[in-house]
Amino acid sequence: MPELQKTELNIPKLGVGTFRLQDDEAYNSVAMALDVGFFHVDTAQIYGNEAAVGRALKDSGLARENLFITTKVWNENLNKAKFVESVRESLRKLQLDYVDLLLIHWPSPENGETMQEYLTELKRVKEMGLTKHIGVSNFTVAQIKQAVDILGEGVIANNQVEVHPYLTNEKVRQACKKHNIKVTGYMPFAVGKVLTDETIVAIAKKHGVSAAEVVIAWELAHDLVTIPSSTKRKNLETNLKALELTLDAEDLAQIDGLDCGDRQANPDFSPAWD
């Protein structure tokens, strides 16, 4: 498999996101991403684009073992009655026999089901071979501990949470490290906001690269997986080039210092953030 700096869990460190992208836009974004050299695609049941993503995966002609595909189970499916069937439905849309990583999208079941119930289903889906790895998303420090208490150490491979220079999410990252849970930083650009930050722009100028590359390199330097999205081939190419950029300690410290708790994803069913 081409080198995209894989982690020990076999997750390529850099992938593409697909939130908000629908129909042709989702198809084209994923098709271009695979064409320029990405292998890791992040989707979710609630994004409504699994079928478009699946078509792009199929049309790419890439071998299944060279792809890394993540999807996420939505809140209304976090119960024994719906969980497994919802994953089968995701796989039908994605035209896959298995995903590489299946996440609980939010720790917020719609009918008050317990974490014990939905994590048991998550583990079952892995045992059924419908996913290679299992993980969570938007889990707080307390919820990570609760989840590890339920499933045991070494079972939860990933926690996908918002991480960018304006929200470094340090406490969650530390808690995950303690339990050997890889963190994926979502919305790395804070949906574009951090790309005009004057500190980041100055660091980009110093290295002769774009602000997007600096932000991705900062995420990777912190041992995060990250999944920026783009609808443009040029931006996808730029984002991939970030793998070649190494920031120095001063750059990293300056970017770390930008944290101001500016959270982008904060729906009313969010947990009590750390």
Ligand X SMILES: NC(=O)c1ccc[n+]([C@@H]2O[C@H](COP(=O)([O-])OP(=O)(O)OC[C@H]3O[C@@H](n4cnc5c(N)ncnc54)[C@H](OP(=O)(O)O)[C@@H]3O)[C@@H](O)[C@H]2O)c1
CB 160 within 8 A of CB 186: yes
- Catalytic residue from among 27, 47, 118, 186: 47
Active site residue 47: yes
Binding window for ligand X (CB under 6 A); candidates: 14-22, 31-39, 109-117, 197-205: 14-22
Strand order in the sheet with 16-17: 16-17, 40-42, 68-73, 99-104, 131-137, 156-162, 182-186, 225-226
Minimum distance between the CB of residue 227 and ligand X, rounded to whole angstroms?
Answer: 5
Which residues between 76 and 95 bind ligand X (CB under 6 A)?
none
Which CB sits closer to ligand X, 257 or 271? Answer: 271
Check residue 109 for interaction with ligand X (CB under 6 A). no
Check residue 266 for interaction with ligand X (CB under 6 A). no
- Tell me how far apart the alpha carbons of residues 179 and 155 are, in angstroms, rounded to a whole number: 10
Binding window for ligand X (CB under 6 A); candidates: 12-20, 74-82, 217-225, 255-263: 12-20
Torsion angle of alpha carbons 178, 180, 185, 186, nearest 10°?
A: -110
Check residue 172 for interaction with ligand X (CB under 6 A). no
Q: What are phi and psi of 214, to 5 degrees?
A: -60, -45
- Tell me how far apart the alpha carbons of residues 269 and 107 are, in angstroms, rounded to a whole number: 9
Which residues between 118 and 137 bind ligand X (CB under 6 A)?
137
Q: Where are the alpha helices (DSSP H) in 72-210?
A: 83-94, 115-127, 141-151, 170-178, 198-207
Catalogue the active-site residues: 47
Residues that bind ligand X (CB under 6 A): 17-19, 42, 105, 137-138, 160, 186-192, 195, 210, 212, 227-232, 235, 238-239, 265
